[in-house]
Amino acid sequence: MDFKSSERATGQQLAGPRSEDVLPETAAAAVKVVIVGGFGVGKTTLVGSVSEIRPLTTEETMTQAGVGVDDTAGVAGKSTTTVAMDFGRISINEKLVLYLFGTPGQERFWFLWRGLFEGALGAVVLVDTRRLEVSFDVLGRLEERGVPFVVAVNTFPDAPNYPLEELRGALDLPASVPIVECDARSRPSSRDVLMTLMRHLHSLAAPTEAP
């Protein structure tokens, strides 16, 4: 979405980050968390509600060969298509920065950004109870890759409200994987989702400690 604006006239200055959005010189290293979910599940909303910067978008082009048949409707005859990924940022302290990437659930998109999951602390699988089936594939793929994750159910007002344990059963989620409800529009709620992931990671890193 930013590419059109990038076609600026020669000599025009590129805006870059706003002065209030620059990181301190002391920022030494970054970590990342990936928010995975289907279309319209609220990934960008969640990222935006906790991010200290307005969510940014990075895009990659995908050649026709890499595009699945279910997504080519309307782009017939094109040799490339564009896949976007929104992300945000949280400064943890003066040295450490956390980036949140919201990525589509389809694994074939993950390869567009090499290293998206490599080195990620973990993932949040954002789920819409109206379209639970799109989550199955994501959960399996993350397990295969050994990426630790938690499941967050975005509570849309018009979505059916199931008990979490019922959803756990429907998703065939192991008891060890936390599942929580959230309101992706709410900063405290979205922060709590990230806290749930961090506590889960903490328990994985210190398996002998009682939770």
Indicate which single residue of 159, 170, 177, 201 sits in contact with another protein (rule: CB under 8 A).
Answer: 201
Indicate which single residue of 131, 145, 185, 191 sits in contact with another protein (rule: CB under 8 A).
Answer: 191
Indicate which single residue of 157, 205, 208, 210 sits in contact with another protein (rule: CB under 8 A).
Answer: 205
Nearer Cβ to another protein (88/151) = 88
161 makes contact with another protein (CB under 8 A): no
61 makes contact with another protein (CB under 8 A): yes
3-state SS string for 103-138: EECCHHHHCCCCCCCCCEEEEEEEECHHHCHHHHHH
Least distance to another protein, CB of residue 88, Å = 10
Distance CA 189, CA 103 (A): 20
Considering only residues 26 through 45, tell me which ones interact with another protein, judged by CB under 8 A.
27-32, 39, 43-44
Least distance to another protein, CB of residue 166, Å = 28
Closest C-alpha among 95, 106, 108, 103 to residue 123: 103
Contact assessment for residue 81 and residue 50, using Cβ atoms and an 8 Å cutoff? no
Stretch that binds another protein, among 10-18, 124-132, 137-145, 156-164 (CB under 8 A): 10-18
22 makes contact with another protein (CB under 8 A): yes
Tally of residues, the chain: 211
Least distance to another protein, CB of residue 69, Å = 13
Nearer Cβ to another protein (35/171) = 35
Considering only residues 62 through 121, tell me which ones interact with another protein, judged by CB under 8 A.
62, 67, 71, 74-75, 78, 80-87, 89-93, 96-99, 101-104, 109, 113-116, 118-119, 121
Exposure letters 184-208 (e unless 16+ CB within 10 A, then b): bebeebbebbbebbeebbeeeeeee
Query: Helix H segments across the chain?
Result: 3-6, 43-50, 107-110, 133-145, 164-170, 187-205
